[in-house]
Structures are given as structure tokens and as C-alpha cells.
Amino acid sequence: MSVPPEAESLRQNPETGRKPPWLKIKLPTSPAFFGVAETLARKGLHTICRSARCPNRSECWSEKTATFLILGDRCTRQCAFCAVAKGRPEPPAADEPTRVAEAAAALGLAYAVVTSVTRDDLPDGGATHFAATIRELRRLSPGIRVEALVPDFNGDKEALDAVLETRPEILNHNLEAPETIYPRLNRPPGNYGRSLRVLKRAARAGFETKSGLMIGLGETEEDIARTLHDLRGASCGLLTLGQYLRPGREQAEVARYYNPEDFDLWKLKALGLGFRAVEAGPLVRSSYHARRMHGGLEAVQGMHPCAT
């Protein structure tokens, strides 16, 4: 029996044979997985799930969840860990916000995560397009909850405010890694502080903020601890922590594989620092269980958790 192309693509990783057993990726069998794939293809949409070769695509798409990738599929930065295509991007597609919203409505989503490539070529970094997408999601799916996983907009406060004006339920911005290893990942060290300022500005405006880290890139335990303290100093309330997996031979190599028990310990440490919710594990990514994390917060606050 042949494996469908959507499933076969999940196997394409040059390090598959050298990974620990807890990093094994399951191939999809759920009809929902292929239904999501068909909807996204029909609308001509990108997802970070596919562009970044996320190991959880089978699980998430089988649960009818996906993270929409807007502003094209080419990033203007050259981060050494990322599988997203680099190069000169096309101008933003004017109808993309509507296509994203139509796909979310077709899938019956009650929670949508929207992210984008970094667009340093645009005056506002794509913030206006980002905001338009969130507004369209709410227009076509009244009551939908939205998590905005934004780039740093080059530190442009007005660009960030344009997204915040749409009132996303969660403002997510990833630090990605400890500051000490930014240079080896082709990320200017100054971007670390810029990212913390993005989170702090959103938190001060009253938003629930979230950030994600990858470990296994050569950082020390002290580096991880300091990064968690820095995030809490920026009033970040939600955290995702996962194992870096080399998406291709052209990206940075894995320096260390952490075991599941390591992630359990870091989760406890993060909660002890005051994070309100933490997803930590070898395959955790920034959007992993995003709906569940937000639903848990609503339950704590005496509200009804959202459901797809």
C-alpha cells in the first residue's frame, strides 16, 4: 500500500536514524489529517506545520488544528536552525486574509493560530496584513479565539500595536534560544532584547503573552535558567519548551538530545518561576496544544474552555 504524499513528507529528515526512540514520528491515518491538507491546498495556504517541518503535524492536523503561515513562505532572515525557505518574498497577497478565514470556517475552528515569515522588506513588517487576517477570521467565524504568533517587526512599536488593536487572545513571540547561542544561529544578539521588549509591551497592554524555546543547540543549563528568568522579567506568562530537531543538512546540528525526564524537570522549574502554563517535551513546538493551553486558562478563570 502506497503512503500518501502528505504522510510521506513527514519522514523526510536526514537524522531520523540517529534520534532517540522517544522522538519517533507517527505517520497519519486519520481522515481528518487529509481533510485539513485538502482544505489548505484548495485555499492555496501555507502552514508553519509544513514549512518548518514540524514533527507534530500528524497529531495536530488529525485533531483539525493547524498554524496558518501568512505573508508568503519565504523569510527575509537567515536563522541557522529554521527550515522555512529564505530569499526574496513575493508581495503580500491581498486576498490571503480572506482565504485563511474561509479555511478556518470550513474546518469549523474555534481556535486559530496565525503566524508569519519575517518580512523585513515591508515598512511595517507585515503588521497591517497580520491585523487584516485576524479581523477576517473574526468576521467569518464570530467567537473564534485567535493566537497571534508574531515576528519582532524590527522593534517597531506601532507595527506591534496594529496587531494588538485586533485583541488576539494570546500574543505569542518566540525567543527561540538562549541569548548566548544567538551568534552561532546567525541571529544578532541584540534581537534577544528586542524580543523581550515585544513581550513586555504586549503584557503591559494587558495581553496574555507566550514564548517558546528550543533546547539542544549547545546551551548550558545556566543559559536555559537565565532565559526563563528573562521571560518572567518581561511578564511572559505562557511557555513552550521543546527539543531542537535538525530539519535538514543545511541547518545547525543538534548538540544534545534531552530526555523526557529533563523536560519534566524544566517544566517544574518554569512553573516555580511563575509561568501560568507550560508545555514541555521533546516534540513540543510553539503552537503545540495551543488551544488546550488557552482552554486551561479559561477554565481557571471560570470560563468555558474553547473547543474545535
The stretch 273-297 carries a mean pLDDT of: 81
Under 8 Å CB-to-CB from 272, ≥6 apart: which residues?
Answer: none
List, for residues 152-167, the tens digit of each pLDDT value: 999 999 999 999 999 9
Confidence band of 40 (pLDDT split at 50, 70, 90): confident
Q: How far apart are the C-alpha atoms of 70 and 5, rounded to whole Å? A: 23
Does position 249 have pLDDT exceeding 90, yes or no?
no
Write down all domains in the chain, each with its CATH number in brackets: 5-11+25-300 (3.20.20.70)
Q: How far apart are CA 202 and CA 164, in angstroms?
A: 7
Largest Cα–Cα distance of the chain, in whole Å?
55
> For residue 36, with 0-12 CB atoms within 10 Å meaning exposed, 13-18 middle and 19 or more buried, which class applies?
buried
> Average per-residue pLDDT in the chain?
83
Give the number of other Cβ atoms within 10 Å of residue 24's Cβ.
Answer: 10
Which of 70 and 81 is assigned the larger pLDDT?
Answer: 70
Of 67-76, 94-103, 229-238, minimum mean pLDDT range: 67-76
Entry pTM:
0.83
What's the pLDDT tens digit per position in 98-124?
A: 999 999 998 888 888 999 999 999 999
Q: Is the pLDDT of residue 49 over 90?
A: no
Strand order in 208-215's β-sheet?
A: 46-47, 67-70, 111-116, 145-149, 170-172, 208-215, 238-243, 277-281
Q: Please tell me the least confidently modeled range out of 3-7, 39-43, 292-296.
A: 3-7
pLDDT in tens, 169-224: 999 999 999 999 999 898 888 999 999 999 999 999 999 999 999 999 999 999 99
Q: For residue 233, is pLDDT > 60?
A: yes
d(CA 111, CA 82): 25
Higher pLDDT residue, 264 or 6? 264
Residue closest to 20 by CA, chosen among 287, 281, 288: 281
| DSSP code for 306 | P
Question: 91: exposed, middle or buried (C-beta count within 10 Å: 0-12, 13-18, 19+)?
Answer: exposed
C-alpha cell belonging to residue 67: 498554524
> Which among 231, 239, 167 is positioned nearest to 199, based on CA atoms?
231
- Residue 235, pLDDT above cutoff 70: yes
